[in-house]
């Protein structure tokens, strides 16, 4: 893989809080093993747990989130689900296929068989569950044959789906305080980070300092990180948005994510973590630590642009966030239409 681009240095950005330790690019497995051991949450909420970091959201946290609503303004954070989406067929991921099974044409022709002039329309959709804005469930990624909470991957996800942590188990959990960190606006050029920009803990803290106290991140929050990658895809076309190079979270961010006890994290990119990854021969090493070991839910391909504009305008980067997945039984991921309310 090619080397990531160097981090841009904005003239008025705070100095990093502390330098990140260098990664041995030739040893991804060693780094993954050390990080998994250090940040593993197995057993933290009991041997039978299926919610992982969503356990950080409690009733008090939801009441706090509800109290953040001041204007009643809503923002959908979902990309469209249609045939013009970003997917390119990799590993069977295609864009949604929408089919009409009954139409106004049939009604007008009088062939639907209903009495007294009533007619109707119906439709169906075929799509991979991670074709557009979505959550990665806890059964989506394994670490050396282990799934979340130390279970054997072969027993967790079978041909019949996820037997333990299917996305339906989390259907009612995703309502909490949301916080947007617009790293693209804080550290990028024209609101966008360059491909290969690895967002470290220092970058997250710099963005919080720039945005102010409403951007403080804490226990039970869902953290939204905007890189500007979707903004560029809208301007230039999808190209390699799905699976190609992008800014994203650095492997160095693991300690920060773990210590802040966030419930989930979502980005405006296909893969959440920086691409190319930070090792010479690796594929999504951050996923390999945060999902099966930390139990952290990851949201990808979220549309954060309109929300970011509003946050910049009123100086408030916190809001109520409702982001329930469609509860497909035993699924390892799910589409979502997240709603931020300010």
User: pLDDT tens digit string along 8-19?
Assistant: 343 333 333 344
Question: What's the rounded mean pLDDT across residues 87-110?
Answer: 94
| No. of helices (H) and no. of strands (E), the chain | 10, 15
pLDDT score of 22: 78
Residue 96, SS3 per DSSP: coil
pLDDT score of 21: 66
Q: Top-level CATH class of 28-86+129-341?
A: alpha beta
Question: What's the rounded mean pLDDT across residues 318-337?
Answer: 98
pLDDT score of 23: 86
What CA–CA distance (Å, rounded) separates 312 from 266? 19
Strands 198-199 and 248-249: parallel
Question: What's the rounded mean pLDDT across residues 96-121?
Answer: 95
Statement: residue 325 has pLDDT above 60: yes
CA-derived radius of gyration, the chain = 21
Q: Do the Cβ atoms of 116 and 149 come closer than 8 Å?
A: no
pLDDT above 70 as % of the chain: 94
Cα angle 202-228-98, degrees, rounded to a multiple of 5: 135
- Listed in order, the ranges of the chain carrying CATH 3.50.30.50 are 28-86+129-341
DSSP 134-179: EEE-TTS--BTTB-GGG-BHHHHEETTEESSS-GGGGTTT-EEEEE
Statement: residue 77 has pLDDT above 90: yes
Q: Name the residue among 308, 298, 277, 287 with its Cα closest to residue 198.
A: 277
The distance in angstroms from the start CA to the end CA of the chain is: 41
């Amino acid at each position: 893989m090619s080397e990531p681009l160097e981090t841009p240095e904005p003239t008025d950005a705070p100095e990093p809080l502390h330098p990140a330790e260098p990664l041995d690019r030739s040893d991804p497995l060693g780094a993954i093993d050390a990080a998994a051991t250090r940040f593993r949450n197995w057993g933290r909420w009991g041997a039978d747990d299926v919610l992982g970091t969503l356990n950080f959201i409690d009733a008090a946290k939801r009441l706090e989130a509800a109290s953040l609503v001041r204007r009643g303004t809503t923002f959908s954070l979902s990309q469209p689900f249609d045939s013009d989406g970003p997917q390119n067929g990799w590993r069977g991921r295609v864009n949604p296929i929408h089919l009409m099974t009954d139409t106004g044409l049939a009604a007008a022709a009088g062939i639907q068989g209903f009495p007294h002039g009533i007619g109707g329309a119906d439709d169906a959709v075929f799509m991979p569950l991670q074709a557009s804005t979505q959550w990665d469930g806890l059964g989506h990624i394994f670490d050396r044959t282990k799934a979340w909470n130390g279970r054997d991957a072969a027993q967790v996800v079978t041909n019949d789906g996820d037997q333990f942590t299917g996305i339906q188990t989390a259907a009612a959990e995703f309502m909490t305080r949301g916080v947007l960190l617009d790293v693209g606006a804080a550290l990028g050029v024209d609101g966008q980070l360059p491909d290969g920009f690895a967002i470290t803990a220092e970058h997250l803290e710099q963005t919080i300092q720039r945005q102010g106290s409403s951007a403080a991140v804490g226990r039970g929050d869902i953290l939204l990180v905007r890189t500007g990658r979707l903004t560029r895809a809208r301007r230039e076309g999808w190209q390699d948005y799905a699976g190609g190079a992008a800014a994203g979270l650095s492997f160095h961010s693991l300690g920060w994510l773990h210590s802040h006890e966030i419930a989930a994290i979502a980005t405006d990119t296909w893969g959440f973590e920086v691409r190319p990854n930070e090792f010479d021969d690796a594929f999504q090493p951050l996923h390999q630590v945060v999902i099966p070991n930390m139990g952290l839910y990851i949201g990808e391909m979220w549309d954060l642009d309109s929300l970011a504009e509003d946050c910049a305008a009123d100086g408030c980067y916190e809001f109520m966030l409702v982001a329930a997945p469609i509860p497909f039984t035993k699924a390892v991921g799910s589409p979502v239409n997240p709603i931020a309310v300010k």
